[in-house]
Chain A
Amino acid sequence: MVNILTNRDIIEAYLREELKVVNRSLPLKRKLLAELLREEYPHVITRDGGIHMFRKSELKLAYELLGDELAGKLYLPIILEVRTDLKETTLVVKDEVAAKLIARVLGLSKYELPLYLYPVHLQELRKKIETLIQYAFTLEGITP
């Protein structure tokens, strides 16, 4: 056990592996909301070759909240970047249209870009648009 723990490479490799595990399920290519609404089985292909499906009712809710014009600009799934370099668990949304949708779901009248979210916000997002969001873990200096 001690030998494993003393090996620096093993700890770094494990950290990389852990980031890979989390981020391997991110989509290879995101799709527009308008495009997904037309699909019979709305889904995207993930990096590990699997699929991430969207609930049709949630897509419709997003369309209702954004309207026709923005539906052609919103890329799904929305990536919530988990900032592990910050002390508190903080999630960041950089995309403008995605931030607008999230603000409307959460009922935020004022917000700025990037939109910072905290675990308390996730509960509401999970209830209404759980299939439209995905988490990405980032770490400065070490890339998965």
Chain B
Amino acid sequence: MSQFQQILRITRPTKIELIKLKRRIKVARRLHRVLKDRLIILTQELISLIRRSLELRTKVHSELVKCEGLLLDALSISTPQVVEVYANTRYSSVTAIVGSRVVAGVRVPLVELERKEATIDYSAYPLTLHEVGKCYDAVIEDISRLAEMEISIVKLGAEVARIRRRVNALENILIPRMENTIKFLEMKFEEREREDKMRLKKVKELLTRRSQGG
């Protein structure tokens, strides 16, 4: 029996069983609809995240190259010690706040950077150094965002795979089998009805023959 003709195992082919099966197929179709909608939303979210993370990764790479160039320029004016002091005293604190957010039932991380500006004498440092600082600030911001996105991609991907398996099982196995079983039961009842009609006809004929003979 091919997969598309398979039917469910039923204890007794009764009308009650058929009614139950019809109710069950309704529920299965609803479940399929919910899962499919969720799959659409999650897949869209996943594709958009992959696209954005790819763009961000490219941006981070080009920014890093740019920052390195700026740093080399700055090092031609200031000594490495001055650069280090500037880098260490620019902010009094840099905190990465790691929280979570929810996307269609999937918990994904959310990272935000919080910087507290320190009171330093900016005029004591050359302008090129400020540019380097600004450049690396942007890079760090982007890297934290990238980390958040890449972990989200892994989590969403796993959920998409899980839902897709279920949607496929419903779409290709459970619902077609239920439909086949309903068709099978309906045909069986029709056949039984026809048999009953024939039997009744024969009984009627027999009775009329007997009454005529008697």
Please list the residues of chain A having a beta carbon within 8 angstroms of any beta carbon in chain B: 2-3, 5-6, 8, 11-12, 14-15, 18-19, 21-25, 41, 43, 46, 50-56, 82, 84-85, 89, 119, 122-123, 126-127, 130-131, 134-135, 137, 139, 142
B10 in complex: contacting residue of A6, A19, A21, A119, CB < 8 Å: A6
B37 in complex: contacting residue of A25, A54, A137, CB < 8 Å: A137
A6 in complex: contacting residue of B9, B23, B38, CB < 8 Å: B9
Asked whether B27 lies within 8 Å of A53 as measured between CB atoms, the reply is no
> Known contacts being A8-B27, A89-B41, A119-B41, is A53 close to B8, with CB within 8 Å?
no
> Known contacts being A123-B48, A135-B41, is A22 close to B100, with CB within 8 Å?
no
CA distance A19 to B34 in the complex (A): 8
Asked whether A46 lies within 8 Å of B112 as measured between CB atoms, the reply is no
**Residues 31-51 of B at the A interface (beta carbon under 8 Å):** 31, 33-35, 37-38, 40-41, 44-45, 48
* B97 interface hit (Cβ, 8 Å): yes
* B102 interface hit (Cβ, 8 Å): yes
* B99 interface hit (Cβ, 8 Å): yes
Asked whether A11 lies within 8 Å of B31 as measured between CB atoms, the reply is yes
B9 in complex: contacting residue of A2, A23, A89, CB < 8 Å: A2
CA distance A50 to B100 in the complex (A): 8
Asked whether B31 lies within 8 Å of A53 as measured between CB atoms, the reply is no
Q: Mark B5-16, 1 if CB is under 8 A from A, else 0.
A: 000111000000
Residues from chain B with a CB closer than 8 A to the CB of A51 are 99-100
Residues from chain A with a CB closer than 8 A to the CB of B174 are 5
* B197 interface hit (Cβ, 8 Å): no
* B107 interface hit (Cβ, 8 Å): yes
25 A–B contacts, CB within 8 A, in A order: A8-B20, A8-B23, A8-B27, A11-B24, A11-B27, A11-B28, A12-B27, A14-B31, A15-B31, A18-B34, A18-B35, A21-B105, A22-B104, A23-B105, A25-B102, A41-B97, A41-B99, A46-B102, A53-B99, A53-B100, A84-B37, A89-B37, A135-B103, A137-B37, A139-B34
Asked whether B110 lies within 8 Å of A53 as measured between CB atoms, the reply is yes
Residues from chain B with a CB closer than 8 A to the CB of A14 are 31
> Known contacts being A18-B35, A46-B102, A55-B110, is A122 close to B41, with CB within 8 Å?
yes
16 more A-B residue pairs beyond the given contacts A50-B107, A127-B48, A137-B34, with a C-beta to C-beta distance below 8 A: A5-B8, A8-B20, A11-B24, A15-B27, A22-B38, A25-B102, A52-B102, A53-B97, A89-B40, A123-B44, A126-B48, A130-B101, A131-B110, A135-B104, A137-B38, A139-B30
